[in-house]
């Protein structure tokens, strides 16, 4: 029961931050799941890829909820999703395969580097300006697999990369966020499937399917889906610019900690 309460708490925090700051909950879920699994006796070579796989699995629920919310508001360009989504899914599948070939500490350092880049971008307030071009997905055969692969390796939904990429392609920020939200689901599906297949038939952990820890994915995903709207409401009341900088500092601390796992 205590373990389930801890997983629910992780999902609640990740969901609120995702709604509040517009960042993927995986940046919170992965380090929290690593600590959770290692406290249960897992070694680092198992804890890190299982944490990443579980974060991706939880996003099957949270990404679907987010995409549905944006679709209802008419901000999802489904033609862009249908073109970019399969390329992103392919990259996520390959990223999961590559990640399982790394040692736990090496994968933790990959997470640390990418997290630090995202944190610095939040701290300086960098946002990609929308180019004055006709909105359409350009260079997707290259960009899609790269975005999907990097995202799946560290257990995030890809919004931190997709939104600037789509803005460069001429989409407004609102539509870029909507498309990125919808593209998070192919990353979650292909990435979590890749982590399952890589250890198919092996009982790595209680209640796991390959590297995917099923109770964690289900509880975190369900709780995150319920709390993300709360984060969105808080953002309108508090103002997310200062919070983004505070969270950027938090992510830098997480990145340093992960680098020394």
Q: Which two structure tokens, joined as six digits, stand for 233?
A: 């409401």
Q: Give the list of residues 6+ apart from residue 159 with CB closer than 8 angstroms, or none.
A: 22, 23, 24, 177, 180, 181, 184
What SS3 state is found at 213? Answer: strand
- pLDDT value, residue 126: 58
**How far is it, in rounded angstroms, from Cα 138 to Cα 228?**
31
- pLDDT value, residue 146: 96
Cα three-residue angle 14-19-25, rounded to 5 degrees? 30
Q: Structural domain boundaries of the chain? A: 2-259
Of 27, 200, 173, 162, give the one whose Cα is nearest residue 85. 162
Q: Give the list of residues 6+ apart from residue 117 with CB closer than 8 angstroms, or none.
A: none
- pLDDT value, residue 248: 80
- pLDDT value, residue 39: 93
What SS3 state is found at 208? Answer: strand
Could you say which residues of the chain have pLDDT below 50?
A: none
Which residue has 């192919």 as its token pair? 186
């Amino acid at each position: 029961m205590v373990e389930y309460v801890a997983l629910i708490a992780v999902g609640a925090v990740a969901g609120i931050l995702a709604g509040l700051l517009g960042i993927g909950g995986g940046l919170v879920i992965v380090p929290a799941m690593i600590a959770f699994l290692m406290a249960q006796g897992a070694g680092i070579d198992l804890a890190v890829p299982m944490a990443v796989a579980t974060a991706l699995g939880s996003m099957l629920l949270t990404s679907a909820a987010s995409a549905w919310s944006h679709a209802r508001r008419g901000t999802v360009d489904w033609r862009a999703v249908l073109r970019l989504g399969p390329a992103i899914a392919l990259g996520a599948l390959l990223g999961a395969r590559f990640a399982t070939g790394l040692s736990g500490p090496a994968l933790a350092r990959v997470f640390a580097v990418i997290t630090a880049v995202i944190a610095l971008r939040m701290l300086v307030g960098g946002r990609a300006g929308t180019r004055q071009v006709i909105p359409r997905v350009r260079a997707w055969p290259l960009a899609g697999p790269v975005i999907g692969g990097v995202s799946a390796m560290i257990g995030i939904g890809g919004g931190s990369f997709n939104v600037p990429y789509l803005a460069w392609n001429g989409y407004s920020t609102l539509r870029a966020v909507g498309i990125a939200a919808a593209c998070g689901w192919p990353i979650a599906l292909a990435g979590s499937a890749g982590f399952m297949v890589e250890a198919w038939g092996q009982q790595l952990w209680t209640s796991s399917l390959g590297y995917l820890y099923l109770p964690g994915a289900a509880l975190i995903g369900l709780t995150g889906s319920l709390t993300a709207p709360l984060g969105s409401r808080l953002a309108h009341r508090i103002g997310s610019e200062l919070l983004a900088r505070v969270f950027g500092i938090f992510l830098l601390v997480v990145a340093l900690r992960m680098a020394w796992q």
